[in-house]
Structure 1
Amino acid sequence: MEVEMECAARSTKRSKVAPPATPPSGGVLVVGGDGSGDRAPSRSEEEEEGCRADRISDLPDAVLGEIISRLPIREGIRTRILAHRWHPLWPIAPLNLDCREISVGGLFNDGEIVHIETTSRVSVFTDERVRKCYFGTQRSRKSFADVASLPECIMSAHQCSVSRLSIPVCYLQCRPSIVDAWLQSWKLNNLQVLEFYYMFPEFVMQEVTPLHVWTSSRPSAPESVFRFSSSLHTLAFALCQIPDNYVGTLKLSLVKRLSLVEVDISDVSLQSMIHSSCPALESLLLVCSRGVGRITIESRNLVGDSLITVVSVPKLETLG
């Protein structure tokens, strides 16, 4: 009798730790060491949880495109490999192409000759200035020479509008037809930022015989800028010529930020450009190395002091 009671007690203990044959309601039952069991999430529940975690992918294409357009160009392109949902978004997102984010090797084609013209003093003992022209040839380390520069590849691959175009001003001289084609493209119909910025590639080293101070081979500002009067709010020129007849017909009523770095422009045209061509101007940057003593500009719209005085800078080393 005692043996039977002992066997019954052992049987009861075993029944407490034995899991049920099937889970109570779907999923997989996980049994703990103390015999307690919790149902693990099913596959459908795991997928649902994953979808809830990636809520950003549920946003509309327009919103995701705006996010991509605010990223540096390299990171924006990389979003195509995040997931299948993101792959088609970059080509149809607004493009902000700032070539300052691209290495020099990616900006020029192999064998391309680049000219840059600067102005400098004859010596430290005189205010007389001369123009100096430098040139150099891009030599790529790649095994293939007929590859297009990265900006060309980006502009060709992108299928949507361009909001910002910031390119080296030397493009106006070494590839004028390409720049003109970009500026005439429908992709730039709503362009908001256009910058031709100063850069001096390391391969541009050979100096040409200095030219007379008033003799210039600098490229002229492109006339295609005229067509952006209804959209452009930021404009920057550097190391180029802005003729009087150009300024006389230039009307950019929405431009609020203007930058002119070592441009060839007369004092009369400079005044006209600020007061007439860009009546909404709020921010102005002038850097000049001409032989003028002082330039004084008055404008009611400029943020801060209404009177801005820019003193000529004979030697430009940094831009900031």
Structure 2
Amino acid sequence: MRVVLTCLPAPPYPAAGGSRPSPGAHGGGAEDRISRLPDAVLADIVSHLPAKDAARTAALSRRWRRVWASAPLVLDHSDLLRALPGAGGFDWLGTTDAVSRAIGAHRGPIRCVRLTCCSMALAARLGVLEYWLRRLAESGAEDLVLVNRPMPEFLPLPPDVLRIASVRTLYLAYWSFPDTAGLPCGPAVFPRLREIGLCSVAIHARGFDHLLACSPVLQKLAIVASLFVPSHVRIRSRSLQCLVLWRSLTNELAVVVAPCLQRLILWQEYPCMPDSDVFYTRVRIGYATGLKVLGYLEPGVHQLQIGGTVIEVSLSPSFLPPIRSYMTYHYPSVTSI
């Protein structure tokens, strides 16, 4: 869980906290100049507030209610997380209900939804998980982080997630990816998706191929904390620029067709696997004419094949066959990722 939470995109705004100035600390009785701003500017301001604070602006006046209703919703549901009085735990039912009311009450557009502490299993049993995804699709959601927490791990993700055509950034954690048989496929599914993270997501080769085929402008793909799911990762993408395997193992990683791919990062192999020749990942580089960075390769874990040339660990660099000039290797530090 710590690895997964580390790799997620940052929250849309700083965490609430600290002391707030009193109403009169900076001349609270002074002239109200903020309300003179156009509605579009006020809506942009409100969209950068935590969900609770944004909703409170509706109590100021009728005009502010209109502003709140039209402002893009930014929902980090940790703002709605409810604790059980005296129990030292969380009220998962109350939190789930709060998320449903926040998504349902706001009839304007949705810009960002980040659900990292919600009981998705409870939401699925109550039938609201599908409702959330439908509302996100209807409201044009752009940036989504959906973490199935707490467990069970590999909870089935409803196929409605593949109907959110407006999404640009999508991170999924601890889900079982939907069975794509019979589902729409092609560039119209995720026409705007540019970045996706699959964090401990059970997805098979067919679903992985389906995902790439549906994302015509995808630039960044991260596979995090995944063991052999999928067992063979095959990259066919005309737009992908960066591919990261972090704390993940797969039998084969094949870059079949990826002319725009610039960085292929294999970072921190799963610690539970032995560093012997009992297991290795074959890294095959096919058509990737833009590749500039490839690393970090571990002897005894990775077998590298470029075109028809297999590079053996035992070979001295002076005896290696020629490698195309577009390939450079970087091994210095984590910051290069």
- Report the TM range for the smaller structure's normalisation: 0.5 to 0.7
1:279 is aligned to 2:227:
no
1:158 aligns with 2:136: no
Partner of 2:207: 269
Aligned sequence identity (%) = 25
Is the deviation greater in 233-242 or in 181-190?
A: 181-190
Which residue, out of 136, 139, 158, partners 1:222?
158
Aligned partner letter, 1:178: V
Deviation at 1:284, TM superposition (A): 1.9
| Structure whose CA Rg is larger | 1
Aligned partner of residue 196 in structure 1, secondary structure: strand
Q: After alignment, is 301-310 or 281-290 more displaced?
A: 301-310
Q: Return closer, same or farther for 1:269/1:313 CA change in 2, 3 Å cut-off.
A: farther
The structural deviation recorded for 1:244 is 4.6
| CA 1:174–1:283: 2 relative to 1, 3 Å | same
Quote the Cα distance in structure 2 between the aligned partners of 1:241 and 1:146: 25
Cα distance in 1 between the residues matched to 2:268 and 2:171 = 18
CA distance in 2, matches of 1:180, 1:90: 25
- Taking structure 2 as the reference length, what is the TM-score of the superposition? 0.52
What does residue 192 of structure 2 align with? Answer: 254
| Secondary structure, aligned partner of 1:89 | helix
Contact 2:209/2:234 (<8 A) preserved:
no
Task: Tell me the equivalent position of 2:27.
Answer: none
Alignment of 1:1-320 (within 5 A): 54-80=32-58, 85-103=63-81, 105=83, 140=91, 149-168=97-116, 171-176=119-124, 177-185=127-135, 188-197=138-147, 199-200=149-150, 218-229=154-165, 231-245=166-180, 249-250=184-185, 251-274=189-212, 276-291=213-228, 297=235, 299-303=237-241, 306-310=262-266, 313-314=269-270
Q: Distance in 1 between matches of 2:136 and 2:209?
A: 32
Contact 2:43 2:72 in 1 (8 A): yes
Q: Partners in 1 of 2:203 and 2:108 — Cα distance?
A: 35
Q: Hey, what's the Cα distance between the residues in 2 that align with 1:217 and 1:198?
A: 7
Unaligned 5+ runs, structure 2: 1-29, 243-260, 273-337
RMSD between aligned alpha carbons?
A: 4.0
Shift of 1:232: 1.7
The superposition leaves residues 230-273 of structure 1 with CA deviations (integer Å, 9 ceiling, x where unpaired) of x2212221111114525963531210111110000124532442
User: For residue 3 of structure 2, what is the aligned residue in structure 1?
Assistant: none
Q: How many residue pairs get matched?
A: 218
Unaligned runs of 5+ residues in structure 1 are: 1-49, 111-136, 205-215
Aligned to 1:152, the other structure's residue is in SS state helix
Runs of 4+ residues over 6 Å off in structure 1: 145-148
Tell me which protein shows more helix as a share of its residues. 1
CA distance in 1, matches of 2:201, 2:66: 41
Give 2:255's aligned residue.
none
- 1:117 — aligned with what? none
Q: Given the two structures, how large is their TM-score scaled by the length of structure 1?
A: 0.54
Matched residue SS, 1:281:
coil
Paired residue secondary structure (1:224): helix
Provide the rounded CA distance (Å) in 1 between the counterparts of 2:113 and 2:95: 21
